[in-house]
Structure 1
């Protein structure tokens, strides 16, 4: 689970920075290999985990560890010895996965050559499963087409569900659609088919019941352990941002220092747009399966904004106290750690702590919103950064 969380953090950090890269950037840290760029057409041959992020990703070769991929147009042709985590606008999987597959996309397809030896968890608007799954299959989508052999159990939630000639479920087949349908005997015998009608009210009831089992007051050691994990996560995130996008990070930090009021307003606008996508997506009906994706995007933006806001304010205070104008990356991480600890302590002060934390989030999201608007509308400052001299943070 820890590797998966770190992988999501890396993909989020790399994916945010690819807008400024015209060529492929790669790096290694131990057995981990990282690729990022505008377009990736990469033949990989890695011994450990591999992380890739770009607008367009086409992967060939083989990786001996987990593979984490994010992009708008993703094609995975490589064989994966461990787990595969992939997300994109369109996602096509052709390689074999030795363990588990987790994928999310607007249009998702597993080809016949894609054999998943573990479990497969898939989510998208249109999901087509043609690759065999030897473990359990879990799918949530608007239109789901099953045309593969599933050795284990299968659970599918869809608005429309159809089957191809190769569809076979050897285990228990549980499905949820608007109306009960006749499942062909070639797919699963009647005694192994279960129909579940799930309504929104039931989902909320289950959510509330889940909360009743949680302890009301965590112990001190639980709080301390949780804070230590959170601090380590932000330090790892900060290290990747400093290592992979130093110029972009310096530009966003400087925008907060130069115009904090404007950035705060942009943060309100950016956060409002993200939260507004939840009801708008749900109102389209066909977008209901994507509501969790939008919620995940809010969580990622909130986390990145908090880290960026804390880092920017801390660096401004560092400079005001006479600190070096160009400190080392180790010093920057220590400044970030100090900021996270200080703001966490502020949470013990009613109202003040909440305002301080939320202000940092708005500043960070505002800087990211400004960078996104500039990348969409064009910004001459980018050319100046390249032609004159590199930014110094």
Structure 2
């Protein structure tokens, strides 16, 4: 289930990023390594997958499984025995990747010391490729510079494309730019070069073709399997939230319980800001490569909001039925799982299921929006006059 696995990894990295704003976290569980914090300069020695999140990250060592990294300033010196996933403002890859490399960033570069044994998928504003790639390459950005040997096929979409002295492409080069460029013979001969004029409308047409091929009425077996997978996913997500951010989760849940109307209004504001990122990012032209990241952010926050809303309502009902005020993490997780199951069953009721799900999203999004606003603006205190005394009416 590659799609489910990718979504889980992305949402988990979002959780780590949230924790990283306040405290450092280091955990080894089941062979996997989890790291988050403001500044991380650590050598990895993970026998399984590794998850790293922070503002500034410099990683060394080895990850025997997949390596997932997210942050603002990322330098990856670690060798990855399987796949490498990286998202950040500035991303530099210097380690060796034994399988595939997937990375996105405003400034993205693979160092000459790096080597990707599988395929590379890169998205960014400025992409500089200096590390050899033994598989294929797919890159999309404003400015793309290729200065490394690539064994497989290459597909590049860019505003400007250039080739350095070390660039050699053994496969077929397909590039999309506004105007045709002259590709040096040493990079790839003319019979292995395909030019496709860049047209932003093509992306929408391709999406429409994919959408039409999607099944409209899934079988009962597919629906049941999807239900089980979704339930397991949310249970794991709930366990992670209760483990890594219990106090912050409790504060957000309390804000929903105290003022549900306020949470719904703030949820509408939060969703408006999220969905507004897509056209605003696209209108800047420079931000076109980051439109997929904006869409991913919508999916991440929508999922987190849904889970938070369900958890908040479940705990409110649990307390109303006479449950303890401060139950343990296991009880909280069981209550959350029961709520997710009940809400999922409501989906089979036309209209009612949609209203219930959307309300949960608004409640959860409102709690997160409120928490973000408070962290940015701070908590207002008693108003003081010039003599530093409380002002009386």
Establish whether TM, by shorter chain, passes 0.5.
yes
Change (3 A) 1:141 1:5: same
The range that moved more, 24-33 or 83-92, is 24-33
- For 1:187, the equivalent position in structure 2 comes to 187
Partner-residue secondary structure (3-state), 2:70: strand
CA contact (8 A) 2:157 2:198 kept: no
Alpha-carbon offset, residue 352 of structure 1: 2.0
The range that moved more, 150-159 or 2-11, is 2-11
Q: Within 5 Å, which residues of 2 pair with 1:293-312?
A: 293-312=293-312
Partner-residue secondary structure (3-state), 1:55: strand
Q: How far apart are the structure 1 equivalents of 2:265 and 2:215?
A: 38
- For 2:253, the equivalent position in structure 1 comes to 253
Q: How far apart are the structure 2 equivalents of 1:380 and 1:39?
A: 29
Q: How far apart are the structure 1 equivalents of 2:243 and 2:85?
A: 23
Tell me the matched-pair count: 379
Structure 1 residues not aligned, in runs of 5+: 382-393
Alpha-carbon offset, residue 337 of structure 1: 1.2
Q: How far apart are the structure 1 equivalents of 2:366 and 2:154?
A: 43
Q: How far apart are the structure 2 equivalents of 1:18 and 1:257?
A: 26
Q: How far apart are the structure 1 equivalents of 2:200 and 2:124?
A: 19
Alpha-carbon offset, residue 380 of structure 1: 7.7
- For 1:15, the equivalent position in structure 2 comes to 17
Partner-residue secondary structure (3-state), 1:33: strand
- For 2:242, the equivalent position in structure 1 comes to 242
Q: How far apart are the structure 2 equivalents of 1:263 and 1:18?
A: 25
Q: Within 5 Å, which residues of 2 pair with 1:1-393?
A: 1=2, 2-21=4-23, 24-379=24-379
CA contact (8 A) 1:177 1:197 kept: yes
Q: 1:93-114: per-residue Cα shift (whole Å, max 9, x none)?
A: 1111111100011111111011
Partner-residue secondary structure (3-state), 2:97: coil
Alpha-carbon offset, residue 328 of structure 1: 2.0
The range that moved more, 197-206 or 299-308, is 197-206
Q: How far apart are the structure 2 equivalents of 1:212 and 1:270?
A: 31
The range that moved more, 4-13 or 46-55, is 4-13
CA contact (8 A) 1:13 1:237 kept: no
Q: How far apart are the structure 1 equivalents of 2:135 and 2:281?
A: 32
Q: Which 4+ runs in 1 deviate beyond 4 A? A: none
Give me the TM-score of the superposition, normalised by structure 1.
0.93
Partner-residue secondary structure (3-state), 2:206: helix
Q: How far apart are the structure 2 equivalents of 1:259 and 1:294?
A: 29
Alpha-carbon offset, residue 212 of structure 1: 2.8
- For 1:387, the equivalent position in structure 2 comes to none
The range that moved more, 206-215 or 289-298, is 206-215
Partner-residue secondary structure (3-state), 1:324: coil
Partner-residue secondary structure (3-state), 2:115: coil
Q: How far apart are the structure 1 equivalents of 2:176 and 2:190?
A: 15
Q: How far apart are the structure 1 equivalents of 2:275 and 2:123?
A: 21
CA contact (8 A) 1:115 1:132 kept: yes
Q: 1:305-331: per-residue Cα shift (whole Å, max 9, x none)?
A: 000010011001101101122222221
Q: How far apart are the structure 2 equivalents of 1:164 and 1:132?
A: 13
CA contact (8 A) 1:19 1:375 kept: no
Partner-residue secondary structure (3-state), 1:5: helix
Alpha-carbon offset, residue 273 of structure 1: 0.5
Alpha-carbon offset, residue 5 of structure 1: 3.5
Structure 2 residues not aligned, in runs of 5+: 382-393
CA contact (8 A) 1:105 1:123 kept: yes
Give me the TM-score of the superposition, normalised by structure 2.
0.93
CA contact (8 A) 1:144 1:161 kept: yes
CA contact (8 A) 2:118 2:134 kept: yes
